[in-house]
């Protein structure tokens, strides 16, 4: 029998993320620097552990009608079937069709940060997305229905006592449909989930970062593949 332990491996992944988030919180005095460090911890986790068909960046999202989202801390998007991505002066812009998930990453969860994350997620989901019929060996397949864009909030700590109690439930329940948060992680305490009816389940979890990663991967598997983008809808802006 091998000396490897799956319990130790999965627990160690969470412990590493929690420790790095704690270090970012304690080591940096400037709020902006502290925030950037926390975002990078989550970005690195997803870049290292999500399948390579997904890419993860801090980004703006744009649609074919020229509308932009707000800047999103963590965008999970397709790189296998989405040809249109723009990098300029350290800024990343991705087409709305390619987005699988959008997360805000903050030091601590509270009512203000939940509301802020809801607005950020809504700025992505409200964008126009195209979907073309798909050529195949058997002929033209119908256009793929638009997948639900996963939205959420990632933090290290909670400002509430208890950390994952009624106050969190209240804050989560007040969103419009476009701003609904589907999944979130409070690394020091647990995670929250949302089902298709919009009901949130709050789960205290000793290894929350690893549990969040696995839940996100499971939800991405259910999303299948992004729709076929109408690149000519974006090309029309060349004539403006």
Please say if 106 is a catalytic residue. Answer: yes
Residue among 40, 97, 32 at smallest CA distance from 63 = 97
Q: Are strands 99-109 and 150-158 parallel, antiparallel or unpaired?
A: parallel
Task: Output the CA–CA distances (angstroms, integers) from residue 70 to 62, 75, 111, 124, 147, in the order listed.
Answer: 10, 12, 20, 8, 20
- How many helices (H) and strands (E) in the chain? 6, 11
Packing angle of the helix pair 208-223, 6-27 (nearest 10 deg): 110
70 is catalytic: no
Token code pair at residue 136 = 């195949």
Active-site hit among 63, 78, 104, 215? 104
Contact (CB, 8 A) for 97 and 227: yes
- Determine whether 159 is an active site residue: no
Catalytic residue among 39, 106, 182, 215: 106
| Rg (the chain; Cα; Å) | 19
Q: 73, 78, 182, 215: which is the annotated catalytic residue?
A: 73
Phi, psi (deg, nearest 5) at residue 20? -70, -35
Q: Which residues are catalytic?
A: 73, 104, 106
């Amino acid at each position: 029998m091998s000396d490897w332990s799956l319990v130790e491996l999965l627990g160690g992944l969470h412990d590493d993320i929690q420790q790095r988030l704690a270090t970012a919180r304690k080591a940096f005095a400037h709020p902006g620097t502290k925030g950037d460090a926390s975002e990078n911890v989550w970005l690195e986790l997803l870049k290292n552990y999500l399948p390579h068909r997904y890419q993860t960046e801090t980004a703006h999202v744009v649609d074919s009608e020229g509308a932009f989202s707000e800047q999103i801390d963590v965008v999970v998007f397709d790189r296998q079937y989405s040809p249109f991505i723009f990098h300029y002066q350290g800024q990343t812009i991705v087409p709305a069709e390619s987005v699988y998930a959008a997360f805000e990453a903050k030091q601590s969860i509270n009512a203000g940060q939940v509301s802020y994350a809801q607005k950020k997620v809504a700025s992505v989901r409200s964008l126009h997305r195209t979907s073309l019929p798909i050529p195949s060996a058997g002929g033209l397949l119908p256009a793929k229905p638009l997948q639900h864009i996963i939205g959420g909030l990632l933090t290290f700590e909670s400002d509430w006592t208890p950390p994952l109690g009624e106050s969190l439930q209240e804050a989560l329940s007040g969103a419009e449909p476009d701003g609904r948060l589907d999944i979130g992680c409070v690394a020091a305490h647990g995670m929250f989930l949302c089902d298709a009816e919009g009901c949130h389940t709050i789960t205290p979890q000793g290894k929350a970062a690893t549990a969040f990663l696995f839940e996100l991967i499971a939800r991405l598997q259910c999303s299948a593949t992004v729709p076929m983008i109408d690149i000519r809808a974006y090309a029309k802006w060349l004539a403006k």
